[in-house]
């Protein structure tokens, strides 16, 4: 998404300027053109030469420097920006912009741009919580300026609190996401992901190999495309996607209850999870001991509710999408599930293939719609498959409106 995008990066005078070196490097690796404007104070923290070397562009500092071209510099930068990032953003720059002050190259350029302006604040906790700063940020937010929340931790002033600039990777991800078409804005999407676990006793449980990657990819993509996204996830080792409400559950019954709470108000339910179909009829409160018999204990299993089938059959005008994880007769079994669960379409994956199904970053799927048409896809990243699923949902929404 960042390839060939013009990012104008305003760097102000804070120690977090050193972290922006990494931001520039990451933006360049993704193919963006980066034009850096530094305030005089910023140059005290990191040399312009560092940013010049990394951005492969000359650095803009002085409003009245010998012009490098016949363009009026701040207007050319302002008009050329696809996105304007200010990082680190001090209390001073936020205050100046909020009050319409344009007294140097950076502030005049911000004033002249029509591009999206995104601040990554970095300052001492007391400064950050100061009502003046908070009020300035609230005012700018109302006007459409954006803020990437700072983190909490040990700050340069050796205090602990909120005010540490967001991590470079999160800043770059935020910029990347800002270029997505927000074609699912106004829609509420519930995505289920990962395995469920069904306890047998305090130390043992039944589960499966789902890593959650497929469902998390769908949730992240839905969020980028502007949907209010709720991720209901079984236990995974994945990092929680930012900006998404995450509901953690353990068992299939927990997942059923969590979906039930969200279902009435949702527009779309995507069942990418691998819920356990069965649970142990009894759960021992003590660890089951070896009983000395050669066969060991017998665990009696009972059926869990089928979440996709339950909500598919009461969906009314909501869209419900399911997956089918199969090792044989992929299309035949997937079609059966599509009908039994009353899904709008099903994403079938043959989990016995290399690069498909559980754990991998890729998947190989066939999508089968209500009309019975089967579309086969080659091996793709799970994030790409997430995009294909959401495109298909967008098309369904369009044909219904």
Where along the sequence are the contacts to ligand PMT (CB under 6 A)? 194, 210-214, 252, 271-275, 277, 304, 306-308, 322-325, 337, 349, 351, 357-359
Which residues contact residue 209 at a Cβ distance below 8 angstroms, ignoring those fewer than 6 apart?
A: 195, 274, 358, 359
| Least distance in angstroms from the C-beta of 197 to ligand PMT | 13
Tokens of 28: 């360049």
First to last CA, the chain: 29
Q: Give how far the C-alpha of residue 356 lies from the chain's centroid of Cα atoms, to the nearest Å.
A: 22
Find the catalytic residue in 65, 75, 157, 374: 157
* Nearer to ligand PMT (CB atom), residue 90 or residue 304: 304
* Nearer to ligand PMT (CB atom), residue 185 or residue 361: 361
| CA 391/CA 382 separation, integer angstroms | 14
Pair 189, 267: CB distance under 8 Å: yes
**Residue 157 among the catalytic residues:** yes
**Mind spelling out the 3-state secondary structure of 57-102?**
CCCECCCCCCCCCCCCHHHHHHHHCCEEEEEEECHHHHHHHHCCCC
DSSP category for residue 251 = S
Pair 9, 34: CB distance under 8 Å: yes
| Least distance in angstroms from the C-beta of 142 to ligand PMT | 40
| Least distance in angstroms from the C-beta of 218 to ligand PMT | 10
| CA 309/CA 372 separation, integer angstroms | 18
| Least distance in angstroms from the C-beta of 196 to ligand PMT | 8
Tokens of 111: 């004033």
* Nearer to ligand PMT (CB atom), residue 289 or residue 303: 303
* Nearer to ligand PMT (CB atom), residue 128 or residue 256: 256
Q: What are phi and psi of 78, to 5 degrees?
A: -60, -40
Biggest CA-to-CA distance, the chain:
91
Q: Which residue has the tokens 């300035």?
A: 136
Could you check whether the bond before residue 307 is cis, i.e. omega within 30 degrees of 0? no
Q: Is 29 exposed, middle or buried (0-12, 13-18, 19+ CB in 10 A)?
A: exposed
β-pair partners for 246: 231
| Least distance in angstroms from the C-beta of 226 to ligand PMT | 24
* Nearer to ligand PMT (CB atom), residue 111 or residue 356: 356
* Nearer to ligand PMT (CB atom), residue 87 or residue 218: 218
Catalytic residues: 157
């Amino acid at each position: 998404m960042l390839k060939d995008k013009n990012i104008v990066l305003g760097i102000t005078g804070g120690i977090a300027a050193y972290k922006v070196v990494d931001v520039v490097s990451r933006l360049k690796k993704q193919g963006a053109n980066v034009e850096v404007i530094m305030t005089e104070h910023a140059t005290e923290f990191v040399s312009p030469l560092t940013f010049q070397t990394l951005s492969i562009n000359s650095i803009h500092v002085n409003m009245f420097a010998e012009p490098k071209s016949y363009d009026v510099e701040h207007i050319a930068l302002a008009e050329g920006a696809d996105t304007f990032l200010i990082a680190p953003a001090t209390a001073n720059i936020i205050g100046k912009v909020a009050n319409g002050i344009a007294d140097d190259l950076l502030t005049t350029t911000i004033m002249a741009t029509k591009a999206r302006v995104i601040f990554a604040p970095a300052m001492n906790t007391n400064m950050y919580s100061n009502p003046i700063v908070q009020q300035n940020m609230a005012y700018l937010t109302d006007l459409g300026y954006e803020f990437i929340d700072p983190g909490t931790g040990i700050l340069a002033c050796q205090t602990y609190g909120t005010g540490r600039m967001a991590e470079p990777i999160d800043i770059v991800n935020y910029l990347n996401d800002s270029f997505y078409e927000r074609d699912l804005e106004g829609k509420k999407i519930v995505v289920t992901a990962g395995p469920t676990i069904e306890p047998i006793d305090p130390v043992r449980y039944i589960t499966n190999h789902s890593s959650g990657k497929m469902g998390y990819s769908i949730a992240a993509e839905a969020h980028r495309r502007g949907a209010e996204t709720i991720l209901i996830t079984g236990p995974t080792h994945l990092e929680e996607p930012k900006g998404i409400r995450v509901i953690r559950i353990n068992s299939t019954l927990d997942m059923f209850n969590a979906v039930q709470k969200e279902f009435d108000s949702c527009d779309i339910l995507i069942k990418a999870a691998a819920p356990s179909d069965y649970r142990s009829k009894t759960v021992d409160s003590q660890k089951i001991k070896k009983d000395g018999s050669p066969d060991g204990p017998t665990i009696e299993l009972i059926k869990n509710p089928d979440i996709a089938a339950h909500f598919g059959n009461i969906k009314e005008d909501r869209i419900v999408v399911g997956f089918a994880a199969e090792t044989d007769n992929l299309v035949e079994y997937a079609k059966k599930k599509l009908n039994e669960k009353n899904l709008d379409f099903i994403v079938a994956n043959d989990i016995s293939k290399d690069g498909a199904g559980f754990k991998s970053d890729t998947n190989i799927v066939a999508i089968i719609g209500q009309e019975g048409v089967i579309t086969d896809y080659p091996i793709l990243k799970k994030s790409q498959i997430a995009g294909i699923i959401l495109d298909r949902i967008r098309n369904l929404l369009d044909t219904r409106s």
